[in-house]
Amino acid sequence: MVMFLIQKFLFTAWILSCPTPGGIFTPTFCMGAVLGQLYVSCLIKFLEFFEMSSVIQYRGVYSILGAAAVTSSVTRTVSVAMIVLELNGHLSHACPLMVCVLSSYAMSEYLMPVSFFEMLSELGGLDAKISQKGKIIIKDFLDVYPDYKKV
């Protein structure tokens, strides 16, 4: 699982660095699910030392929680919780899911208050183009396109 996580991270970074970047939602969702499984595997090994490993009954819940937490911290949206609840179909996971999503959102906002999409637009120069939006003068536009002066 660790090798899969490393490879997924590297390939996702490679895809996102292309001139036309790919998606971010599905790869982070997958990495979060793998991190959830790694966490529960370590937790079971730790609880086996105290002979309490029977406390964890459903390993898959940790994948769901990890996927939602990582995706919400990268995309900085809380709506991931609703998407995961719709995918899962069990409302019994709503409370732990919201705790995971909100805590990961708060922690990522504390560590770096800029979302992935804001960083991507800043690196691509989109912020500079948007800041020039209010500085367009009609005269400059008409000088570039003289056919519009006739209208």
pTM: 0.76
pLDDT for the residue numbered 85: 92
User: For each of the chain's 151 residues, which pLDDT tens digit applies?
Assistant: 889 989 988 988 888 777 776 788 889 999 999 999 999 999 999 999 988 888 888 899 999 999 999 999 998 999 999 999 999 888 888 999 999 999 999 999 999 888 888 887 777 676 676 676 666 566 655 565 566 556 5
Residues 6+ apart with CB under 8 A from 17: none
Backbone angles phi, psi at 74, to 5 degrees: -80, -45
Domain boundaries, the chain: 2-113, 116-151
Nearest to 63 by CA among 94, 85, 32: 32
pLDDT for the residue numbered 108: 93
Q: How many CA atoms lie within 13 A of 2 on its CB side?
A: 3
Residue 113, by phi and psi: left (phi above 0), alpha (psi -120 to 50) or beta?
A: alpha
B/e letters for 68-85, b = 16+ CB within 10 Å, e = fewer, are bbbbbbbbbbeebbebbb
